């Protein structure tokens, strides 16, 4: 390797460095032997060597831009470097910040991680490929959450019944590396020191290992309700119904689902606890199983959102504030031997019902099956205080104990079906 002497000023101000990658490194970065082989000619002096990686300059007193990688096709001047000083100072101290969701990750840079490119008279600051890959790989590792899948181990495809399941379904998340890389580079080139990364949702899957042809089991719709205000006994009954009775029900195409048929005896022996329930329209009593209507209400909302054919349903006789969230007025009361909640699976294939509790005591019912393209819209809620002429024309004037929704189904062929859902209670409802 041939060593030539040149001052730093001349190197920066007068060198024509076409097609070369220029690295300015501190003298202390060299080994003892290497350092002793250089003579010192002054505070603005430097030497550079030619090698396969380009030119290496070694000044005695380093300016702020020392150790900055430069890929250039033109003359590099100090004036070209100066506009990036404030940005570089932040990158060297605080670091580059990448935000992923609610998390923020900081990556302090070194001079060797920064890349200056000059083409003609235009200079841009960027990151070296190694540093960029480090940011992406670290963020990806910290962010990725695998999706959770449910496996169907056994299933009776001849009738509506409970399948044997394993696992829990949940969505995961991962960083979209290509797009995040573009966002990082764009931020740097625009003088910024932070960017928000891109992510994608990894959908949980229903994996059929039963040996039965159950068709595609894709997410169709969900119903949701909150039982956060429940006393302990009621919350126990809600969870029991949710986890033990309605998780994993498989419904063949054309079959009818009955909520009560999966409830079983509401007895002490079955483990049900006492809680309040509505009787005779306006009375409440402490009975075993109080709270099971929380899940029937949640199932009903999922039925509506999936545009399933409802064959039996009735709202509670008293307004229940447990059901205000996620569809006030869209509730379903049940009582064995008296009132049921039923629907027909009018989709092209099997339906799988998944029940689970989410954060903040929220009950969720989801349907998985074959998506035939139907869609649902709900407009409301309407009460006495916000009813419109359209509402009055459709369902009559709403009293203080009435709630109405307009329900629209669009079929795969474009046919639109529209009807009104009206709930009447003996007690006043919260006005909208």
The two most distant CA atoms of the chain are separated, in Å, by 102
The CA radius of gyration of the chain, in Å to the nearest whole number, is 34
Q: Are 423 and 314 in contact (CB under 8 A)?
A: no
**Given this model, what pLDDT does residue 127 score?**
92
- pLDDT over threshold 80, residue 1: no
Indicate the range of 109-123, 176-190, 304-318, 372-386 predicted with least confidence.
Answer: 109-123
**CA distances for 37 relative to 26, 30, 49, 131, 389, angstroms:** 15, 10, 12, 31, 93
pLDDT tens digits, residue range 172-199?
999 999 999 999 999 999 999 999 999 9
Of 17, 193, 219, the closest CA to residue 109 belongs to 193
List all residues 6 or more positions away from 34 whose beta carbon is below 8 Å from its beta carbon: none
- pLDDT over threshold 90, residue 243: yes
When pLDDT is cut at 50, 70 and 90, the band that residue 74 belongs to is low
Residues 310-333 as b or e (16 or more Cβ within 10 Å = b): eeebebbbebbebbbebbbbbbbb
Mean pLDDT of the 144-153 span? 97
When pLDDT is cut at 50, 70 and 90, the band that residue 10 belongs to is very low
From first CA to last CA, the distance across the chain in angstroms is: 83
Mean pLDDT of the 66-95 span? 72
Domain residue ranges of the chain, discontinuous segments joined by + = 215-372, 373-432
Q: 191 in helix, strand or coil?
A: coil
**Given this model, what pLDDT does residue 78 score?**
67
When pLDDT is cut at 50, 70 and 90, the band that residue 75 belongs to is low
Containing 262, the helix (H) or strand (E) segment is none
- pLDDT over threshold 50, residue 39: no
Q: What percent of the chain has pLDDT over 70?
A: 82
Indicate the range of 14-18, 53-57, 91-95, 165-169 predicted with least confidence.
Answer: 14-18
- pLDDT over threshold 60, residue 348: yes
**CA distances for 310 relative to 216, 296, 307, angstroms:** 23, 13, 9
Q: What is the sign, positive or negative, of the torsion defined by CA atoms of 379, 384, 386, 390?
A: positive
Of 343, 340, 334, 333, the closest CA to residue 308 belongs to 343
- pLDDT over threshold 70, residue 52: no
Burial of residue 34 (CB within 10 Å: 0-12, 13-18, 19+) is exposed
When pLDDT is cut at 50, 70 and 90, the band that residue 9 belongs to is very low
When pLDDT is cut at 50, 70 and 90, the band that residue 88 belongs to is confident
- pLDDT over threshold 50, residue 68: yes
Q: Report phi then psi at 352, rounded to 5.
A: -115, 125
């Amino acid at each position: 390797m041939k060593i030539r002497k040149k001052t730093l000023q001349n190197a920066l101000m007068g060198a024509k460095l076409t097609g070369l990658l220029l690295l300015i490194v501190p003298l202390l970065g060299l080994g003892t032997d290497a350092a002793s082989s250089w003579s010192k000619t002054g505070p603005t002096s430097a030497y550079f060597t030619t090698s396969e990686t380009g030119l290496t300059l070694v000044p005695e007193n380093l300016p702020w831009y020392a150790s900055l990688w430069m890929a250039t096709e033109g003359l590099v001047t100090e004036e070209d470097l100066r506009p990036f000083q404030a940005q570089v100072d932040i990158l060297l101290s605080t670091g580059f910040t990448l935000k992923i969701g609610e998390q923020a990750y900081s990556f302090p840079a070194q001079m060797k991680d920064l890349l200056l490119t000059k083409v003609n008279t235009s200079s841009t600051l960027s990151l070296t490929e190694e540093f960029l890959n480090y940011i992406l790989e670290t963020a990806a590792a910290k962010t990725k959450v695998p999706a959770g899948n449910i496996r169907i181990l056994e299933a009776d495809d001849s009738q509506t019944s409970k399948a044997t399941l394993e696992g829990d379904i949940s969505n995961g998340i991962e960083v979209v590396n290509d797009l995040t890389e573009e966002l990082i580079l764009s931020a740097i080139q625009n003088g910024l020191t932070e960017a928000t990364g891109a992510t994608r949702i990894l959908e949980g899957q229903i994996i059929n290992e039963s040996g039965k042809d159950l068709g595609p089991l894709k997410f169709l719709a969900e119903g949701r309700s909150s039982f956060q205000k429940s006393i302990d006994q009621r919350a126990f009954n809600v969870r029991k119904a949710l986890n033990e009775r309605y998780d994993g029900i498989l419904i063949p195409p054309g079959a009818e689902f009955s909520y009560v048929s999966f409830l079983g005896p509401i007895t002490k022996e079955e483990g049900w606890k006492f809680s309040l329930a509505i009787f005779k329209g306006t009375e409440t009593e402490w009975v075993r199983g109080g709270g099971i209507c929380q899940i029937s209400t949640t199932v009903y909302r999922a039925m509506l959102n999936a545009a399933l054919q409802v064959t039996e349903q009735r709202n509670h006789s008293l307004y229940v504030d447990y059901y205000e969230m996620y569809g006030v007025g869209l509730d379903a009361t049940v009582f064995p031997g008296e009132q049921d909640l039923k629907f027909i699976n009018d989709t092209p294939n099997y339906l799988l019902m998944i029940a689970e509790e989410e954060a903040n005591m929220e009950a969720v019912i989801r349907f998985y099956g074959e998506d035939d393209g139907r869609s649902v819209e709900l407009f409301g809620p309407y009460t006495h205080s916000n009813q419109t002429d359209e509402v009055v024309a459709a369902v009559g004037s709403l009293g203080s104990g009435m709630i109405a929704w307009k329900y629209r189904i669009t079929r795969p062929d474009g046919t639109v079906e529209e009807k009104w859902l009206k709930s009447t209670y003996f007690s006043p409802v919260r006005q909208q």
